[in-house]
Amino acid sequence: MHGDTLGTYAYGLWSIVIYYVLFFLLFAVSFLRPKKRYEWRSMGTLTGFLVALFTEMFGFPLTIFVMTALFGEAYPALNPFSHSSGHLLLVLLGKSESHAALMNLHLLSNTTILIGSLIVFIGWIQIHRSKGDSLINRGLYGIVRHPQYSGLFLVTTGFMIQWPSLLVLLMWPIMIITYVRLAGMEDKELAKIFPTRFPEYRNTVPAFFPRIIPARLSSGSLPGGFKQPR
């Protein structure tokens, strides 16, 4: 995502900032499909996360300015304003000039982002196939109640691994809390729509992360991670 320039000043690329923010925001809006006010509020925190991420990644390296000002010559990077030195995990490990370390970091972060994106996409497919007239009790919704949010958490974690700047570290927990609260609101709505079936589903299927040993639903019950089609 950052090009091959390892030893030059690699910021001030505002057109790239705008492109990536719009690209990932369009992806999120397309597959999460916010409609209600509290859903758009959650989307607003995701937008803030994306703006913070790509601004520091391609626009203005605030974190690097702060860290070089604090540590001066002790800052462990020969060229702190190259893109390779923007990967703070590698800088702290003394591997910012290592092509192998950079490739491994990209492999880890991009794999995490890809898996998260696939989860969001598959969850979207299940929602639309349900046509909103039944509880979803198959596939991802039989493993976790909010798989699209789980996928979103994975995508943003991948970005955190790749570019853990101060603004990103600030926005990420705010975004996570917002979506956890959104999931709680959806659970309350489901409890009203399915007062007899949803309580067992909620007690059996975790919200975001699958259990190592899945719990069993009672015979004849119909679990579901119901979502209105967007």
Tokens (6 digits) for 30: 């397309």
- Predicted model pTM: 0.82
All residues at 6 or more sequence positions from 113 whose CB lies less than 8 Å from its CB, including other chains: 154, 155, 158, 159
Give the C-alpha distances (Å, rounded to integers) separating 93 from 109, 132, 138. 17, 49, 43
Nearest-angstrom CA–CA distance, 49 and 42: 11
Q: Are 49 and 156 within 8 A, CB to CB?
A: yes
pLDDT tens for the chain, 230 residues: list them.
Answer: 544 444 566 789 999 999 999 999 999 998 888 888 888 989 999 999 999 999 999 999 888 888 888 877 777 666 777 776 777 878 878 777 778 888 898 899 999 999 999 999 999 888 877 765 566 777 899 899 999 999 999 999 999 998 888 889 999 999 999 999 999 999 998 888 888 888 888 888 999 998 876 555 444 334 333 444 33
The secondary structure element, H or E, covering residue 57 is: none
Q: At what angle do helices 37-54 and 14-32 cross, to 10 degrees?
A: 150
DSSP 7: S
